[in-house]
A and B are shown apart, each in its own frame.
Chain A
Amino acid sequence: MATVDRPWMAFEPNDDALPFRATMSSVGVKVPATRVTTAELMAGTRHRTGIELERLTGIHARHVAPDGEDSYTLAVGAARDCLSRTPYSGADLDMVITTSITKYRDGYTQRLEPPLSLAVKSAIGAPRATSFDLSNACAGMLTGVFVLNDFIRRGEIRRGLVVSGESISQLGRNAATQVRGVLSRQLASLTLGDAGAAVLVERAGPDSAGIAVAGFTTLSEHSRLCLGYPSHVGPGASMYTQARAIHRVAIDRAPALVQEALDVAGLGLDEIDYFIPHQTSARAIRTGVAEFAERLGVRPRHVVVNVEEYGNTSSTTHFVALDRYLREGRFRRGERALLLALASGLEIGVVIVTVDELVASWES
């Protein structure tokens, strides 16, 4: 890693200061089979909105949890899927961090305590693992990776699981009763889809490039641009978003922070093979990437856009995208992925990882 004077983002120090390196060695998802197209969702709005949501966002459909599925079942399903491609069982995990925004069990009952992680680790047979929940909006899973990276690099633990189950499309159903036009602050709720995702982070082998950098910051002067609460119109929650303002801030601030992460890692953007931003809308990602290219002078080689089939699955988007690319065999050993978190808060995080172990998990 290159030396950067007291960076703005919180990063681990350089390689020499810590005994180990961490890597992502498996990703798992659980996506419900039930699909709702954008046309179907918009046909069910209470008011005649005139919103061309699919054209605006590129989202054709999202998967939605049927009765009997909730945040807990999606998280457990993803955790099991993740472990199924490893030699490990739950008993081998040292830490389980659950990062869902939605913590629904038994319908739309939002569980605050005991933490959802307790139920997840019981379900996957990980009684020995330290467990807790971590909340950081759509940056939750990558924040969990940031935390595990620290524990693993210091040698305090050997492996841990970050898992999230987002049964969040209900926010869209609540929004559908209230949205009247394209300027509605609940418009972003109509883009949400359900998914569970999990990532195994563990101590990297001596020849592994692993996680090159994991860094985060909070631009809190924008903390109130997206707020989610238990709804007053129906079960579950409602979310109020100033989407254009968030987009403006993100494309203004994120390029310099990504450059800082690349500098800390000693990498250039041209050495990143896959750029995986938080998946909100295809149009937002396209304009954001154009701004990146202009500011940083290089266009990422591949930009992963996954929203057409899944919508915005909140804290799980990066790992739903990784899983899809792994299933489709698109990654090659030695390639690097840059995962960019942009979330309410406003949270900006960067994780750069070489995908060798993830590719290997699909070869065995």
Chain B
Amino acid sequence: MGVVIRSVGLSRPGRLAGHGARRLADAAARSCLDEAGIPADDVDLLVNAGVYRERGLGEPALAALIQEDVEANVGRPDRHDHGTFSFDIDNGACGVLTGVHVTHGLLLSGAIRRALVVASDSGPGPVHARWMPYDEGGGAVLLECDDGVAGFGDVKLATFPEYDALLQGYWTWEERSGHRPGRHDGRNRLVVEERSGFRARAAECAVETVGKMLADAGVTADEIDLLVATPEAEFGDPVAAGLGVPTARVMHLGEQTNRLHTAQPAAAVAAAMRTGRWDESRTVLFVSAGAGITIATALYRH
């Protein structure tokens, strides 16, 4: 039995999807469910893996709001039916693969039948952030069990904390000058800093982590038909080169999606499906690099 991707959904800011991480996640989730022809009530687990959201909501899990918006089991609990459980995974740009890691086991054990992993990011607006290195966008992946051998293998996560300063995102209070004694006068600001060298270091870390994973799985580089490496820009090609995978097998993204943050793996799969490369590929290698440096990687077999 394997855990397969049933469908993928994407959203970009605009008239239909609106703006802000929540609305973008809602739109991606709806698109994903529509693509699969699955009603929202059939989602047993909803995991949100986005990092940046309007107003910096910290409580509740954004996943709960998304669940309500897409109307997944929003009625009174019924003893003869099943509900939806929602929570957030926070693991930077490795969030989607971490979400796959967590839901993979729950699907295989039978605790749940379908899982929706959603990721979206948006800035809090110019008042609260001077600059965001990422484009607004959302993605969603619907996962379920398949009786065959297709689907995700184990997700491997590795961290390299010696590089934790290379990418950071945080909210911090900035006092304004001339404030009244005894009273705070300032504002919370979101700061996102990706320092030069992050992606090159991340590629080195990825090659090390993926190399071990492939060796353990008994898979050689020439068996990789498609490499979904995120962030794609300045990371995908160096990872391919380090592993010995031809760069033509990297899922290159256009300008529309290559500045997405946590939603980029979903965007890459959607692009591969759209161009036919997904179905043509017997073995797909996923590798994501996030702050930490954290590397997440998994094989997906058709």
Chain A positions within 8 Å of B, measured between CB atoms, are 5-13, 17-18, 101-102, 107-115, 118-119, 121-122, 127, 130-137, 139, 143, 147, 150-151, 153-154, 156, 177, 216-221, 223-224, 226-237, 239, 253, 256-257, 260, 343-347
Interface string of B171-182 (1 = CB under 8 A from A): 111000000000
Chain B contact surface mostly:
mixed
B281 to chain A, nearest CB (A): 26
Q: A236–B84 contact, CB under 8 A?
A: no
A224 to chain B, nearest CB (A): 7
Asked whether A218 and B110 contact (CB < 8 A) given A147-B102, A223-B65, the answer is no
Determine, out of B6-14, B72-80, B237-245, the stretch whose residues face the partner at the interface: B72-80
Q: For window 230-274 of chain B, which residues contact chain A by CB distance below 8 Å?
A: none
Q: A18–B161 contact, CB under 8 A?
A: no
Measured CB to CB, the nearest residue on chain A to B77 is: A8
Q: A220–B74 contact, CB under 8 A?
A: yes
CB-contact partner of B88 in A122, A131, A135, under 8 A: A135
B282 is an interface residue with CB less than 8 A from chain A: no
CA distance A143 to B64 in the complex (A): 14
B153 is an interface residue with CB less than 8 A from chain A: no
CB-contact partner of A6 in B73, B81, B84, B108, under 8 A: B81
Q: B60–A9 contact, CB under 8 A?
A: no
Q: A113–B58 contact, CB under 8 A?
A: no
Asked whether A253 and B64 contact (CB < 8 A) given A9-B85, A108-B173, A110-B171, the answer is no
B141 is an interface residue with CB less than 8 A from chain A: no
Tell which of A136, A236, A346 has the most Cβ of chain B within 10 Å: A136
CB-contact partner of B290 in A113, A121, A127, A220, under 8 A: A113
Determine, out of B26-34, B44-52, B144-152, the stretch whose residues face the partner at the interface: B44-52
Asked whether A8 and B58 contact (CB < 8 A) given A109-B170, A156-B105, the answer is no
Q: Which residues of A contact B157 (CB under 8 A)?
A: 130-132
Tell which of A12, A132, A260 has the most Cβ of chain B within 10 Å: A132
Measured CB to CB, the nearest residue on chain A to B82 is: A6
B109 is an interface residue with CB less than 8 A from chain A: yes
Q: Which residues of B contact A130 (CB under 8 A)?
A: 101, 157
CB-contact partner of B68 in A131, A132, A221, A231, under 8 A: A221
CA distance A21 to B112 in the complex (A): 18
**What are 22 A-B contacts defined by CB distance under 8 Å?**
A6-B82, A9-B85, A12-B109, A17-B110, A108-B172, A118-B292, A118-B294, A122-B161, A130-B157, A133-B89, A135-B87, A135-B90, A143-B87, A217-B83, A218-B83, A220-B72, A220-B73, A223-B64, A229-B57, A232-B188, A234-B184, A347-B87
B38 is an interface residue with CB less than 8 A from chain A: no
CB-contact partner of A118 in B74, B154, B159, under 8 A: B159
Q: Which residues of B contact A6 (CB under 8 A)?
A: 80-82
Asked whether A253 and B77 contact (CB < 8 A) given A109-B172, A344-B60, the answer is yes
Asked whether A344 and B108 contact (CB < 8 A) given A118-B159, A143-B87, A233-B184, the answer is no
CA distance A223 to B57 in the complex (A): 12
B92 is an interface residue with CB less than 8 A from chain A: yes
A252 to chain B, nearest CB (A): 9
Q: B106–A226 contact, CB under 8 A?
A: no
Q: A115–B79 contact, CB under 8 A?
A: no
A132 to chain B, nearest CB (A): 4
CA distance A156 to B106 in the complex (A): 12
B143 is an interface residue with CB less than 8 A from chain A: no
CA distance A137 to B159 in the complex (A): 25
A322 to chain B, nearest CB (A): 22
A139-B87, A220-B64, A236-B173 given; 10 more Cβ-contact pairs under 8 Å: A7-B82, A110-B172, A112-B90, A115-B92, A133-B89, A150-B105, A221-B68, A228-B59, A235-B173, A347-B61
Q: A18–B109 contact, CB under 8 A?
A: yes
B165 to chain A, nearest CB (A): 9
CA distance A260 to B45 in the complex (A): 18
B291 is an interface residue with CB less than 8 A from chain A: yes
Q: Which residues of A contact B65 (CB under 8 A)?
A: 220, 223-224
Asked whether A114 and B292 contact (CB < 8 A) given A8-B83, A134-B88, A217-B77, the answer is yes
Measured CB to CB, the nearest residue on chain B to A225 is: B60
Tell which of A6, A18, A156, A345 has the most Cβ of chain B within 10 Å: A345
Q: B56–A230 contact, CB under 8 A?
A: yes
B220 is an interface residue with CB less than 8 A from chain A: no
A235 to chain B, nearest CB (A): 4
Measured CB to CB, the nearest residue on chain B to A130 is: B157
Tell which of A114, A115, A223 has the most Cβ of chain B within 10 Å: A114
A300 to chain B, nearest CB (A): 21
Q: A154–B109 contact, CB under 8 A?
A: yes
B91 is an interface residue with CB less than 8 A from chain A: yes
A261 to chain B, nearest CB (A): 12
B167 is an interface residue with CB less than 8 A from chain A: yes
B96 to chain A, nearest CB (A): 12
Asked whether A10 and B85 contact (CB < 8 A) given A150-B111, A256-B77, the answer is yes
Q: Which residues of A contact B168 (CB under 8 A)?
A: 111, 113-114
B283 is an interface residue with CB less than 8 A from chain A: no
Q: A118–B164 contact, CB under 8 A?
A: yes
Asked whether A137 and B167 contact (CB < 8 A) given A115-B90, A217-B84, A229-B55, the answer is no
Q: A110–B56 contact, CB under 8 A?
A: yes
Measured CB to CB, the nearest residue on chain B to A174 is: B184
